[in-house]
Amino acid sequence: MSTRPTPFDPARSPGRQLTRRGLLGRAAAAGLLAGPAAGLLAACASSGEASSEAAEGSDDNPFGFDPASQIDAVFFTGGFGEEYPDAISDAFAAHYPEAELGALKTETIGTVVQPRFAGGTPPDMVNNSGGDELDLAGLVNDGAVLDLTPLLDAPSLDDPQVPVRDTLQPGTAEAGMFGDRMFALNYSYSTYGIWYDAALFRTHGWAPPTTWDEFLELAAEMSDAGIAPFIHTGEHPWYIHNVFMEWIYREGGLPVIAAIDNLEPDAWRADAVVLAAQRLQELVDRRLVYPGAEGLDHTQSQQVWLDHGAGLIWNGSWLENEMRDTTPPEFEMTFAPPWAPSNSPATPYGTMRVGAGEPFVVPADGANTAGGLELLRVMLSRAAASAFTELTSSMTVVAGATGGVDSTALTSATEAASAAPEVMDWKALGWYGAHLMDDALLPEIADLMAGRSDAERLIDRIQQAADQVAEDDSIEKFTRDA
């Protein structure tokens, strides 16, 4: 799906992360390792800097790109469809008519790209997103993707006097950073929260809930009307984990989240975390979730919601485009910030997550790293960004590139983001994703929502995983301010 955030922005796309160990395992299973594993690591490891074969750059051509060369790019088409890569190709051709851009489209990034990383012949640019995404943290640690700081410092195509970084929405660079360097360009600018049909709500006289008690009152009325109050996708617990994290932030604010991100002892046992976990269990115990949701994938759950089988769903602003073909014409897809898990949270209503997602990387061992960088620079032009928005009804990180799109979904999400009294985020689940997310939070929260676990076990498992990360000196640590 996704305006998909990166492993640095864990409100990111569903799917497993491929660790270094997993990369070796998959390569061996696929018969890609003809020699020792060290050969693969050598193939993946590099300085993380642009290839020395690239020509010297200039103001007009900052990366030394050969305008008659070939570029090998791979795009994820799950959430935003197959049209936008064509629009990007057209925008690139307008600047470089002699270049040959090969734009492969796929919904299985890892399956397509991982063997090429393993073999030392990765593409020049990869849209690393979707349920089969690669573990970006592992690629960064192995030096397998470029530091994109030179892209931020390069002259923008729309105004060469203005560097690319100054044309982007706030937080774009930070969303793709490890330490002080950006390794992923997050292209879409997404809002994350609760979605409902405004037409349905008008018919019944309902309003989006702002507190837990308001949600329970609404849930009772929805149940009386034969509508499940809430639905999620059990097949991709990434979605419901965002509800959990949003409730933690709403209830405890940044200090609680910062303690989690900084791996402080017992941070996952804070009162706000306990309450958020208990509320998830309450959704299940009170039967407020659509029956069988634990077996649905994201599009199936979204279709149930579109068919009014459920009244509320958590999702990102890619939702409208992802379900465009099956959305009833009378359905008024509308965004609302997350309600609080109590009646007296630390943060005001309207606090929400908004930011850059849908990561693009330039593999360090690509044959044309200069071409990969220049492709990203073209994507950050207003023309390319506006075309993306027109085709997907989703904003990009390019400030002012609106594309002239007018829809209830996009308008409501944009207005909520503009009015947000506080913008939430969390980092640890991205910094240490394979350890905290894949090995702990995602499987345990899936079990909880399926009735196979409970709030206490969820907290125990994620705290244990956080403690293991904190005690492991081989894992690089990061910190943030509260």
DSSP string, 113-157: HHHHHHTT---SEEE--STT---HHHHHHTT-B---HHHHHSBPS
Question: Structural domain boundaries of the chain?
Answer: 20-190+355-407, 191-353+428-471
CA gap 253, 74 in Å, rounded: 38
Which range, 47-56, 348-357, 404-413, is most confident?
348-357
pLDDT reported for residue 120 = 96
Closest to 11 measured CA to CA, from 189, 254, 260:
189
Q: Is the pLDDT of residue 239 over 80?
A: yes
pLDDT reported for residue 210 = 99
Q: Is the pLDDT of residue 54 over 70?
A: no
According to the CATH classification, is domain 20-190+355-407 in 3.50.50.60?
no
pLDDT in tens, 451-472: 999 999 999 999 999 999 999 9
Bridge partners (DSSP) listed for residue 71: 101
Q: Is the pLDDT of residue 43 over 50?
A: no
Mean pLDDT of 234-255: 98
Place of tokens 């930011």: 355
Q: Is the pLDDT of residue 163 over 90?
A: yes
pLDDT in tens, 125-156: 999 998 788 988 889 989 999 999 999 999 99
pLDDT tier for residue 1 given thresholds of 50, 70 and 90: very low
pLDDT reported for residue 138 = 85
| Residue 305: CB atoms within 10 Å | 27
Mean pLDDT of 164-188: 92
Mean pLDDT of 225-243: 97
pLDDT reported for residue 32 = 30
pLDDT reported for residue 55 = 55
CA gap 56, 53 in Å, rounded: 9
pLDDT tier for residue 171 given thresholds of 50, 70 and 90: confident
Q: Is the pLDDT of residue 28 over 70?
A: no
Contact 417, 170 (CB under 8 A): no
Q: Is the pLDDT of residue 2 over 70?
A: no
Mean pLDDT of 285-292: 98
In Å, what is the CA distance from 242 to each residue of 180, 250, 313, 360? 25, 12, 12, 22
Place of tokens 């090969």: 102
Bridge partners (DSSP) listed for residue 162: none
pLDDT tier for residue 403 given thresholds of 50, 70 and 90: confident
Burial of 352 (0-12, 13-18, 19+ CB in 10 A): buried
Of 3.30.930.10, 3.40.190.10, 3.30.1950.10, 3.40.109.10, which CATH number belongs to 191-353+428-471? 3.40.190.10
Please give the share of the chain, as a percent, with pLDDT higher than 90: 73
Mean pLDDT of 27-45: 31
Select the more confidently predicted residue: 482 or 372. Answer: 372
Q: Is the pLDDT of residue 348 over 60?
A: yes
In Å, what is the CA distance from 197 to each residue of 71, 229, 331, 335, 388? 43, 12, 6, 9, 25
